[in-house]
Amino acid sequence: MISVVLVEPEGPANIGMVARTMKNFGFPKLVLVNPNITRESYSYAVHAADVLKEALVVGSFEEALELFDLTVGTTGKPGKSYIPERAPLMPWELRETIRGYPGRVGLFFGRESIGLKNEELERLDFTVTIPTSEAYPVMNLAQAVAVILYELAKERPEAKVHSLEPATRREKEELVNAWRRLLDALNYPKDPERREVFVRVFRRFVGRSLLYGREVHTLIGPLRRALMKLEECGDAER
């Protein structure tokens, strides 16, 4: 079970936005260290008021630490004064690292102004950082939470469910063959080698387009129809 911990968040609106993004990604457990929750927080939470209402409020960083088996601190650009023992993990490395971990995980986010203090970071098990541009590395708190939770939520099975079946290799091959037969019926281009190139271009077109099975059939239909008509027509001419 993963909880989000906001350590002394300064903006009431940010608390609400964080609650919203937590509910968006299906992480309902929020811990707040010395927060300033106002009506504005609820207004920014929109439909995630329940996350705010059920948040656990504690009085110190140490109290929050006690709640977890594994603690992760987020840092912006590692400052000059902080020399981490280990290089911070990238968000996707964090996901791999804690995958399947059965204990209680606390994801600690610091103050909007100064983040987590060095003495706080030292108490945590891991550090994670979002790779940002040198030109402007400091993210808005709620956006940083959104990015980390998005990455962690990828492990959930529902992230992988598509309602449509991707086209199989066989279906795609049928589509390419329908195209090939059309070119043959047209005798176009006349040069067989060039005709092969035309088929290859079509095959690449099919390969790159992430078609679904149903779509393949919608595309084959007119090609077969055209072929049939052209053949009828050819017979008529003879």
Q: Tell which residue, 30, 9, 4, has the closest CA to residue 115.
A: 9
* Cα 165 from Cα 144, distance rounded (Å): 34
Can you tell me which of 10, 65, 198, 213 binds its own copies, judged by CB under 8 A?
198
114: contact with its own copies by CB under 8 A: no
Structure token pair of residue 49: 């008021």
109: contact with its own copies by CB under 8 A: no
In the complex, the smallest distance separating the C-beta of residue 44 from its own copies, rounded to whole angstroms, is: 8
Tell me the H-state helices in 154-212: 169-186, 192-208
129: contact with its own copies by CB under 8 A: no
Residue count of the chain, please give it: 238
* Cα 144 from Cα 210, distance rounded (Å): 31
In the complex, the smallest distance separating the C-beta of residue 164 from its own copies, rounded to whole angstroms, is: 5
Q: First and final CA of the chain: distance in angstroms?
A: 75
* Cα 219 from Cα 216, distance rounded (Å): 5
Number of residues that bind its own copies (CB under 8 A): 76
Can you tell me which of 113, 158, 170, 192 binds its own copies, judged by CB under 8 A?
158
The piece of 34-42, 61-69, 115-123, 162-170 that touches its own copies (CB under 8 A) is 162-170
CB-nearer residue toward its own copies: 17 or 58: 17
48: contact with its own copies by CB under 8 A: yes
* Cα 99 from Cα 87, distance rounded (Å): 19
99: contact with its own copies by CB under 8 A: no
92: contact with its own copies by CB under 8 A: yes
In the complex, the smallest distance separating the C-beta of residue 86 from its own copies, rounded to whole angstroms, is: 9
In the complex, the smallest distance separating the C-beta of residue 203 from its own copies, rounded to whole angstroms, is: 11
In the complex, the smallest distance separating the C-beta of residue 33 from its own copies, rounded to whole angstroms, is: 22
* Cα 90 from Cα 84, distance rounded (Å): 14
